[in-house]
Amino acid sequence: MPHITAPQRNTPIDPIDASGAARPAPPAPGKPQAPGEPLSYTRTAVVLHWAIGLALLAQIVFGFLLDDIAPRGTPARAGVINLHKSFGLVLLALIVVRLLWRWRHRPPAWPAAMSAWQRRAAMLGHRALYACMLVLPLSGYVASNFSKHGIRFFGIKLPAWGPDIPAVYDLFNGVHVVTALCFTALIVGHVVFALKHAWVDHDGVFARIWPRLAR
Ligand code: HEM
């Protein structure tokens, strides 16, 4: 799922623990797991991963179905598009929270069984997912400000800061559509590799992001 995710390690980054004693510095992300390293993501990281991931999936499906739900020129169109814009802006806020969280918390180290190129590929894939998560709602937001329709956020008209310029709208809407397609492809790859970890490699990578009551 929107492994779309990037979680955090169990151990705070601060190398001084609650008792004031110095702890060994955590390994740099992308390094293999050292003995004694935390194995799993924290509860907060898991909740952020699955909540935002599932919401993003729903929003992507909603976006691709816009023309079927409310074809252009029909009375329902404006309301449905504004619902998509409103959900998208809420998601943008959640994504910013998630990125800030990820910035402050490192993920657990990779299992030592993962090769260097696998770790690098996973890191690049996750960065690309984060990039799409930001570009997708931002491009939709910017595009909408260069359209006479603007944005109604759950019924409240937001101040538009751009003039009605169809060429600029088309440019940013094009970025929105292409990013949605890239994001969908990345998510498919993300899920395929997550399932490979679970069913082929049996290396614990899937289990550490899977929700469990006791963490
Ligand atoms: C993470 C959040 C978002 C996702 C995943 C998303 C996804 C999508 C997808 C998949 C489409 C259909 C693309 C196509 O036609 O093939 C779409 C269309 C659209 N989105 Fe978003 N979107 C998001 C946020 C936003 C935001 C924040 C806005 C504006 C404030 C917005 C405005 C639009 C508009 C106006 C269209 C229709 C474009 C058209 O057909 O003319 N989206 N979106």
CA distance 196 to 202: 8
Residues 53-86: tens digit of each pLDDT: 999 999 999 999 999 999 999 999 999 999 999 9
* Spatial separation of the C-alpha atoms in residues 29 and 158, rounded to whole Å: 40
Q: How many Å lie between the centroid of ligand 1 and the Cα of residue 143?
A: 10
Tell me the residue ranges of DSSP E strands in 64-193. Answer: 152-153, 156-157
pTM: 0.83
Rounded distance between C-alpha atoms, residue 56 and residue 64, angstroms = 12
pLDDT of residue 146: 97
Q: Which atom of ligand 1 is nearest to the CA of 133?
A: 1
pLDDT in tens, 123-142: 999 999 999 999 999 999 99
Q: Backbone phi, then psi, for 152, in 5-degree steps? A: -110, 110
Architecture field, domain 43-201: Up-down Bundle (1.20)
Q: Return the ligand 1 atom nearest residue 89 CA.
A: 27
CA of 21 to the centre of ligand 1 (A): 50
Establish whether residue 144 lines the binding site of ligand 1, counting it when its CB lies within 6 angstroms of any ligand atom. Answer: yes
> Distances in Å between the alpha carbon of 144 and those of 19, 75, 149, 161, 174?
52, 19, 7, 10, 12
Strand partners, 110: 32
pLDDT tens, N- to C-terminus, the chain (215 residues): 334 333 333 333 322 223 333 333 444 445 555 555 557 888 999 999 999 999 999 999 999 999 999 999 999 999 999 999 999 999 999 999 999 999 999 889 998 889 999 999 999 999 999 999 999 999 999 999 999 999 999 999 999 899 999 999 999 999 999 999 999 999 999 999 999 999 999 999 999 999 986 55
